[in-house]
Amino acid sequence: MERTDLKEKFMLDPAVHFLNHGSFGACPKEVLAAFHDWAERSERQPVLFYMRQFQDLMKTARAALARFVGTETDRLVYIPNATHGVNLIARSIPLSRGDEVLMTDHEYGACENVWALRCAETGAELRKAAVPVPYRSGGELRDRILESVGARTRVIFLSHISSPTALTFPVAEIARFARSRGIILAVDGAHAPGQLELDLDDLGADFYTGNCHKWMCAPKGSAFLAVAPEWVNRVEPNVISWGTGPNLENTIGNRLIDGNEWLGTQGPFPALSVPAAIDFLERNDWRAVRAGCRELLTRGLNEVNRLFGFEPVYPDERAYVQLGTAELPAHWRAAELNAYLYDRFAVEIPIIRWNGRNFVRISIQGYNQDEDIDALIAGLKSYGEMNAMK
Ligand SMILES: Cc1ncc(COP(=O)(O)O)c(C=O)c1O
């Protein structure tokens, strides 16, 4: 399928060069139509929908997602977003004084907050492994993490694909190591489902939270938490409802699902639309689409690197799929550049300040085209020239 045909399947404003799928995703028209259908169906007979059909509908939606990410229907639950997932994980792992939670210096700020507060509350210590970029191999990423593991490390918390830098961490290798040492591995897969082919059971993390509303193109508010079998009945819910406590209703004896699927009345429509999103990806041969995205992303990263003379962040193009970063001059003002690109070039793209350096984070989804990269390069060139004249 031509990229122009794919673009028409999305709602995106044609006047904008949308190179920031990574922040909130974008939902195709037909998937959004499924979302509206669910909402309308619920309004025709709300009691029938919520009291008699909800549980079965959710189970069907869980089954479709479980197949897609390679786990079992009853080891995964829908949640609103990955932030929610990280909160669930941090609440469920018993921590005490002297324990250490290890993460990298590439984690998403809100999720780092979750662990910082959980550590403050329990007396555990938060430790960060520095993982420098550019890097030369996946082995280097692994080594930087493993050499920071100590005798007190109880949890490793790791992004599958990092937010500020778009590094893909070797989760399977870290999982094998963690298991051999009795360390709990919790993965923030906010950007992974839809970009990476996942087989969560094979990956072997204790906890894995992922978003469907980013790279799977599902409606916003669709995400999941998947856990290893030994954690299914040890997940502490963020909200107490009918699935937890003395007044139980409609429970199935699975704490992960009982405690998280029904959290009081709210529209389950994003989750129920995930099968439509999976169907959309499959019908449009997303494996091929992703390969095309990687090609266009490679062109963008190479051109930015050539423009400003920085080394590529990645060892080669197998290190990313649809999300990638390239370095920019450190003295530039990120917020100013972001506004400049949008106001003058209609380019929507994040400029990320990380460890005192600047990076442009390029997202390429099926709807992006060469002209989006052309506009980005023109905008960066123009900003660079303006800065040189100052
Ligand atoms: C690595 C990472 N984790 C977590 C999140 C939070 O996702 P959400 O806003 O869907 O909770 C993001 C958002 O961009 C992210 O990049």
- State in Å: Cα 37 to ligand 1 middle: 27
Identify which of 252, 258, 251 has the alpha carbon closest to the alpha carbon of residue 236: 258
- State in Å: Cα 86 to ligand 1 middle: 10
Ligand 1 atom having least distance to the Cα of 83: 11
Task: Determine how many CB atoms are found less than 10 A away from the CB of residue 174.
Answer: 23
Q: Residue 104: CB within 6 Å of ligand 1?
A: no
To test the pocket of ligand 1, the residue of 79, 89, 163, 214 to mutate (highest count of ligand atoms within 8 Å of its CB) is 163
Classified as helix, coil or strand, 234 is helix
Which residues have a Cβ under 8 Å from the Cβ of 67 and sit 6 or more positions away? none
In this structure, the residue with its CA closest to atom 7 of ligand 1 is 82
Given this model, what pLDDT does residue 1 score?
64
- Fill in the DSSP letter of residue 132: -
| Same structural domain, 176 and 238 | yes
- C-alpha 257/C-alpha 323 separation (Å) is 32
Note whether 71 and 200 are within 8 A (CB): yes
Residue-wise pLDDT tens digits, 346-377: 999 999 999 999 999 999 999 999 999 999 99
In this structure, the residue with its CA closest to atom 10 of ligand 1 is 81
- State in Å: Cα 41 to ligand 1 middle: 30
Residue with tokens 């001059």: 329
- C-alpha 115/C-alpha 89 separation (Å) is 10
In this structure, the residue with its CA closest to atom 13 of ligand 1 is 23
Ligand 1 atom having least distance to the Cα of 86: 4
Which of these three, 264, 281, 298, is where a domain ends? 281
| Same structural domain, 105 and 215 | yes
- C-alpha 37/C-alpha 59 separation (Å) is 18
| Same structural domain, 117 and 138 | yes
Which residues have a Cβ under 8 Å from the Cβ of 120 and sit 6 or more positions away? none
Long-range contacts for 280-283 (Cβ within 8 Å, ≥24 apart)? 280/28, 280/30, 280/31, 280/217, 281/194, 281/216, 281/217
Identify which of 297, 306, 348 has the alpha carbon closest to the alpha carbon of residue 327: 306
Which residues have a Cβ under 8 Å from the Cβ of 376 and sit 6 or more positions away? 17, 19, 300, 304, 341, 345, 347, 349, 360, 362
Residue with tokens 């906010």: 190
What CATH number did the domain enclosing 236 receive?
A: 3.40.640.10
| Same structural domain, 381 and 237 | no
Residue-wise pLDDT tens digits, 210-233: 999 999 999 999 999 999 999 999
| Same structural domain, 211 and 252 | yes
Residue 14: both structure tokens together: 């044609």
Classified as helix, coil or strand, 296 is helix
Residue-wise pLDDT tens digits, 261-301: 999 999 999 999 999 999 999 999 999 999 999 999 999 99
Q: Residue 191: CB within 6 Å of ligand 1?
A: yes
Which of these three, 240, 257, 281, is where a domain ends? 281
- C-alpha 51/C-alpha 87 separation (Å) is 28
What CATH number did the domain enclosing 13 receive?
A: 3.90.1150.10
Given this model, what pLDDT does residue 390 score?
67
- State in Å: Cα 275 to ligand 1 middle: 21
In this structure, the residue with its CA closest to atom 12 of ligand 1 is 190
For helices 82-92 and 109-122, what crossing angle results, to 10°? Answer: 20
* CA 237 centroid distance within chain: 21
Which of these three, 281, 299, 331, is where a domain ends? 281
Given this model, what pLDDT does residue 388 score?
80
Ligand 1 atom having least distance to the Cα of 161: 1
| Same structural domain, 21 and 38 | no
Residue 172 has pLDDT above 80, yes or no: yes
To test the pocket of ligand 1, the residue of 191, 217, 322 to mutate (highest count of ligand atoms within 8 Å of its CB) is 191
Residue-wise pLDDT tens digits, 113-143: 999 999 999 999 999 999 999 999 999 999 9
| Same structural domain, 118 and 242 | yes
- State in Å: Cα 138 to ligand 1 middle: 22
- State in Å: Cα 179 to ligand 1 middle: 26
Given this model, what pLDDT does residue 294 score?
98
Note whether 234 and 87 are within 8 A (CB): no
| Same structural domain, 36 and 7 | no
Residue-wise pLDDT tens digits, 73-101: 999 999 999 999 999 999 999 999 999 99
Residue 312 has pLDDT above 80, yes or no: yes
| Same structural domain, 311 and 236 | no
| Same structural domain, 92 and 12 | no
Residue 4 has pLDDT above 80, yes or no: no
Note whether 303 and 341 are within 8 A (CB): no
Q: CA-CA-CA-CA torsion for 345, 219, 199, 168, nearest 10 degrees?
A: 30
How many domains does the chain fold into? 2
| Same structural domain, 36 and 124 | yes
Average pLDDT across the chain, whole number: 97
To test the pocket of ligand 1, the residue of 27, 111, 220, 224 to mutate (highest count of ligand atoms within 8 Å of its CB) is 111
Residue 73 lies in domain: 31-281
- State in Å: Cα 23 to ligand 1 middle: 7
- C-alpha 368/C-alpha 293 separation (Å) is 8
Q: How confident is the model at residue 5 (pLDDT cuts 50, 70, 90)?
A: confident
Given this model, what pLDDT does residue 168 score?
98
| Same structural domain, 58 and 181 | yes
Task: Return the H-helix or E-strand segment holding 37.
Answer: helix 29-44
